[in-house]
Structure 1
Amino acid sequence: MSTITFDTMLIILGGVLLLGILWIYLLTKQRQKFKQLIDFAIEGLIISHKGCVVEINAQALKLFGGTDKEEILGKSMFKFIAPESKELVQQQSEKSHTEMYECMLLRKNGTSFPALVRGSDMISFGKKMRVSAVIDLSELKEAQYALQALNDNLEMQVQTQIEKNRQQEMMLFQQSRHAQMGEMISMIAHQWRQPLNVLSLLAQNIVFKYKLHKLDDTVLDEFKEDSMRQILQMSKTIDDFRDFFKPDKAIKIFDVKQQLFHAVEMVKPIVASHGIELTFNAEDNLKIESFPNEFGQSIINILNNAKDVLLESCGDHTKQIIVEAKRGENLDIVVSIEDNGGGIDEIVMPYIFEPYFSTKGAQHGTGLGLYMTKIIVEEHMHGRISVENTPEGARFQIVLRGLE
């Protein structure tokens, strides 16, 4: 049995020591490279063993408000978790690998911040380690809160503006109603002129009969019947105009031809008194589901506009307004109102439907008639209205969706 000399033992021990030093050197180098690697990550990285922090990178140190890693190393991970998130983090830590989840963490000074965390187990030097990646959501949350506040403020501003527009539209409707009341009184006056003349003649006749001593029961009965007939006609005129100008509160199915006829009959005495011919042609069975009175009012607005244009036009030609209604493509119903008043100036054309725009002057027009017509047709009846010049004048066209 050979014996190991003292020199040999020294050589072996020296070799073992050298290997140990080399191993420590390699481990140190490896650890330095590992630190450089994790410090290079943009996420905060925390390495823990049995719930205690064994290594963190510079980004994680910054997230937790530390200035030296020694302030964090060796401490429990749960010391840096906000109370409301401890149960969630505990559940997630029991999994070998977790997807990103949101929780509240604590800085060194005790303040909390929202964070995205993702964890995964790993084996290093025979030990089970936990690597956790942390992203600070503070700036993102602040941006979200600011954006939400901006959206809330914007929504409030939008609602405020909508309310202002609604109030303005109600005011314009009210002003338009006042103008329509004036037009209605004018129309009633024209309708009443003839029965009033008849009543005047009847009154003069009864006085004449009285002076001639020819006033008897027969004459009085005839006077009563004739007078009541004229009075009833005048009363009916008021009812017709009142019902026609009454605001619609419910959508109804109505016949376009019939409603156009009513509108034309109301305007005809006025235009006829100015020597204007009013012609009306319409196909049968043109039915739509909408607001009949508002539709009729919009037609009267256009007819009054055509009348005013014709009164201002020069020349000895016969002044005419033609109202037509027919079936268009598919289920569309097309209503056109055309005059021979020379047309609309191309400069004026883009503003014809603008509120308060009028070429008649403040004493003769409010500038609301055509604007309210556009509102009624496009917003209330979901139709289209347009105007174009013809060789002799202008043509307004309304397109509405009809019923089968």
Structure 2
Amino acid sequence: MTMIPQEIIRIKRDGGTLGGAEIASFIHGLADGSISEGQVAAFAMAVWFSGMSLDETVALTLAMRDSGAVLSWADMDRPVADKHSTGGVGDNVSLMLAPIAAACGLAVPMISGRGLGHTGGTLDKLESIPGYDIKPSETLFRQTVREAGCAIIGQTADLAPADRRLYAIRDVTATVDSVPLITASILSKKLAAGLQSLVLDVKIGSGAFMTGLEEAETLARSLVGVANGAGVRTTALITDMNEPLADAAGNALEIENCLAFLRGEKAGTRLETVVLSFAAEMLTTSGLVADPAEAMPIARRALKSGAALEHFGRMVRCLGGPGDFVERSQSYLAKAPVILPVKAERGGFLEACDARAIGMEVIALGGGRTRPDEPIDHRVGFSGLRPLGTKVEAGEPFAFVHAASGDQAEKARARLVEIYAVGDETPAGRPTVLSRISG
């Protein structure tokens, strides 16, 4: 006898353990719409408060994976690999990493998501590109992976449909930062994509969902344990998110930042460290390179040679974007009508910032969502964000606001001045990659 949804919610609300059949039943109802949005929200909140055991999380992940089609790449002549980030501010790593990995000989069928909470979404960024199809047919998806080596797309109707609905509801019910829900959400999409290996970027800091090292390691171990248990070779790196990773935050602005990176214009930055660290991790975890020491120079060559930029342009073209997007991006990316410099009110060093607050300001400008169905303004956000530790003079710009109106720009400018602290001494440096978790 099938248990009614409210009984499943009650068991988890009261701290009980759900069986695999009960979880599968609830997820089936989530996918076919027979369970209401209110019941889904209640279930998510119950899991947030009560947690889930490893067995429950595995069952949830597999049920969400099996709510739709599961791809197979058995005929692919290259290792099939991917990467996923738990989310951050100015975190556009996937945009550069996928084409770098493709240029190194991997096949990267990347299933990505929209923004969650204060974090930006890879799909929202890609939708800044006119014509780019984030939900192609399976035939086009496969063709793009073969021709470009990578394809960054969203969840189609066939891939993990239960996660697509739960993902949107978590975003607006303050249940994003639940380890079992994050684990199942990430891995259901990845397992449905038919991966052979996976690397995970677990963010920690003021701009991440995990603010402490212990909870970040807990999430990383959950992800790595469940994925390896499902037969996908998986490792995780814990990386710093106490300031925006790129020097831009906002959808079209991060696409432009991606192109600048692939042209070699972001050398020596924290962003480069993270991107190349994950490229090396992907090459090693996939088995394409046996010795980790060999992987980093291979990734650097793919970037420096222009091969990665070429793969990015090919991916955009295959998925419906302009054929000359890489060469003429400024002609295609929409620009905000108001651009305002954010000037330091005193001289000194950029000492600290609240990265989460910066993400929330992007949302306030219209670059993110407060409701699942809300449209976003791809033009808005921040550019020219100077890294912490930068010396600034009074009146010197340390960022630029891109806004739809003068009033919005001024509010964001004033808020960004409050978000950044300026001190008299250079702040101590922080490692960008903190630790590695393996299966």
Given the two structures, how large is their TM-score scaled by the length of structure 1?
0.21
Select the structure of larger CA radius of gyration. 1
Greater share of strand residues, 1 or 2? Answer: 1
Given the two structures, how large is their TM-score scaled by the length of structure 2?
0.20
Bigger relative contact order, structure 1 or 2 (CA pairs below 8 A, ≥6 apart): 2
Greater share of helix residues, 1 or 2? Answer: 1
